[in-house]
Chains A and B, each alone.
Chain A
Amino acid sequence: MQIITCFKVVPEEQDIEVNSSGSLSFERAKLTISAYDLNAIEVGAQLAEAHGANLVGLSAGAANIDESKLKKNALSRGPESLYLVADNGLADMDTYQTAAVLQAAIAKIGVYDLVLCGEGSADLYAQQVGVQLGQMLNVPTINSVSKVTLEGQHVIVERTLEDEVETLEIALPAVISVTSDINLPRIPSMKQILAAGKKESTTWTGADIGLSSPVKSIETIETKAPKQTDRKQEIVEGDSDEAVQKFLEKIAKELK
């Protein structure tokens, strides 16, 4: 049994700065594993531990995703090995491009029974890569999975929808996208971090997987921070009786 867990490398949210023009600056932003994908990795790790499956991590993006700290971070969370498609031709991909690259990488990896994705990426959150990948691989695919149980050659999943929860039986191989409340991703221990350094990781370029950069299907015209509402920022310091009283006087008319 081989499980592939996909993850996206994104700029750390807190480090993104808004320029005076409203454009975003990523200059100081470190790269990190997209938060929702940590849930997918955790699902993979738990399934692998429970069933003795082999867990493989897979990510695609610009050349800078091939970085030792990031790789260690991913590997310390459970995968036995890692595949990266790291190529500057793959920067800023749309969901179709990402799915196409992942599909080509999976074809090169060769074997898989289950592919796990996070529900959406922390940066663009289009919630599309998992289902597009499933379609491209021509296997059953489903999103919003809040529980996964492996049973022989199929998985039983719970899927949380707007007003109902459904239980589905999906034949493997399959691609499923998991929700962010499916688990609490582990905080890797020192031992796991050290062990991660010894695990194998393979880096491919687009050409290695037989793919130059797929054509863009979405054109970005502009990305700009919205203007923030000006707030009064009248802040009372301290929670003594007088401070609370002062605070109450300020807010009383709003709450009356």
Chain B
Amino acid sequence: MKILVFAERNAALAELCSGARALGTQVEAIVIGALDVPVDADKVYSIPAQADVMLEDYTESVAAIMDKAGAALLMVEPTKRCKVIAGRIAAMKGTSVITDIMEISAGLETKRMVYGGMAIRKEKAASGTMIAMVGPGVLVASTAAPVQGAVETVAFVEPSAKIKVVGRQKKPKVSVNLPSAKRVIGVGRGVGKEEDLAMIREFADAVNGEVGCSRPIAEAEKWLPKEAYIGVSGLMIAPEVYVAVGISGQIQHMVGVNRAKTIIAINKDKNAPIFKQADYGIVGDLYKVVPALVKQLK
């Protein structure tokens, strides 16, 4: 089976190629411009980099390589830009994209989360070429010696409709270290004001932890960066201890912490779903409980 691999970042391309090796017999990579990392691929298709062309405008070029290569599977890195490229190619080829998969078998059966994390769906392409978006860590890297295939330059295909880039601004680097934190304090809507986060930070400091949050705190309130929210559409973490403060425990949030060794909940609503999913909990006002805990823990 031949697998084609396309990614936005070269590091992801290298990882996907190495993982693809364990699934297919022939691995071919698509790159834009020159390749600056070694990738384990039998062949590399290089599309000459164009001045002032955004990544999405290479869609037609990638689609043309697909026709040429005749692969059974196109594996794509799941970034926002790549989601446009994969989707547009799928539309051209009469197929769908299986996005954000968490597992793929040798028989190309994939698994991904649906219904906000409530269930895992096993699916596969019903016909023709399959397009799957595969994140970091999903594939097991091959241990075989990497192959450095020949590079074939393929012509850039002029897109029919270009989008004009007016400006570009780097997002400020956020220093959220949640994935590697041993203890995480998650804040939710139960916290009433942004200033009160100081109290949560003090709590986190007292237990040597990091602060994360539920989606509304990051998206609606914007008190913490988007990179700090936990859940199906945010971070998936597996700390030793997760303390949910003023978080109701909706499934979309909880799938992000299911792998925590211990879950502790502070919530004033006895019926909050979080208590069914916690090892320890206190039914109480966080404004009383948290300061009391901080005082004692210090």
**A residues engaging B (CB < 8 A)?**
13, 16, 18, 22, 24, 94-97, 99, 122-128, 130-136, 138-144, 156, 159-171, 180-181, 184, 215-226, 228-229, 231-239, 241, 243-244, 247-248, 250-251, 254-255
Contact A168 B166, CB 8 Å, known A223-B120, A235-B280 = yes
Shortest CB-to-CB span from A64 to chain B, Å, is: 18
A128 — nearest CB in chain B belongs to which residue? B87
- Among A156, A166, A243, A251, residue most surrounded by chain B Cβ atoms (within 10 Å): A251
A165: B residues at CB distance < 8 A: 168-169, 171
B176 at the interface (CB under 8 A from A): no
User: Which of B120, B183, B279 is close to A231, meaning CB atoms less than 8 Å apart?
Assistant: B279
B83, A143: Cβ atoms closer than 8 Å: yes
B91, A235: Cβ atoms closer than 8 Å: no
Shortest CB-to-CB span from B119 to chain A, Å, is: 5
Q: How far is the CA of A33 from the CA of B282 in the complex (A)?
A: 35
A244: B residues at CB distance < 8 A: 282, 284, 288-289, 292-293
Shortest CB-to-CB span from B22 to chain A, Å, is: 21
Q: How far is the CA of A155 from the CA of B148 in the complex (A)?
A: 44
Q: How far is the CA of A162 from the CA of B136 in the complex (A)?
A: 14
A135: B residues at CB distance < 8 A: 87-88, 91-92
Shortest CB-to-CB span from A226 to chain B, Å, is: 5
B289, A247: Cβ atoms closer than 8 Å: yes
The A interface is mostly helix, strand or loop, or mixed, namely mixed
A167-B165, A217-B126 given. 19 additional CB < 8 A pairs?
Answer: A13-B118, A18-B119, A24-B115, A96-B90, A124-B115, A125-B233, A126-B98, A140-B163, A160-B171, A170-B163, A215-B94, A217-B90, A222-B121, A223-B122, A224-B119, A225-B119, A237-B283, A248-B297, A254-B264
User: Which of B91, B232, B251, B262 is close to A96, meaning CB atoms less than 8 Å apart?
Assistant: B91
B201 at the interface (CB under 8 A from A): no
The B interface is mostly helix, strand or loop, or mixed, namely mixed
A22: B residues at CB distance < 8 A: 119
A219, B83: Cβ atoms closer than 8 Å: no
Shortest CB-to-CB span from A250 to chain B, Å, is: 5
B125: A residues at CB distance < 8 A: 217-219
Q: How far is the CA of A140 from the CA of B88 in the complex (A)?
A: 10
B258, A228: Cβ atoms closer than 8 Å: yes
B157: A residues at CB distance < 8 A: none
Shortest CB-to-CB span from A56 to chain B, Å, is: 22
A180: B residues at CB distance < 8 A: 219
Q: Which of B30-38, B44-52, B137-145, B270-278 contacts A (4 or more CB under 8 A)?
A: B270-278
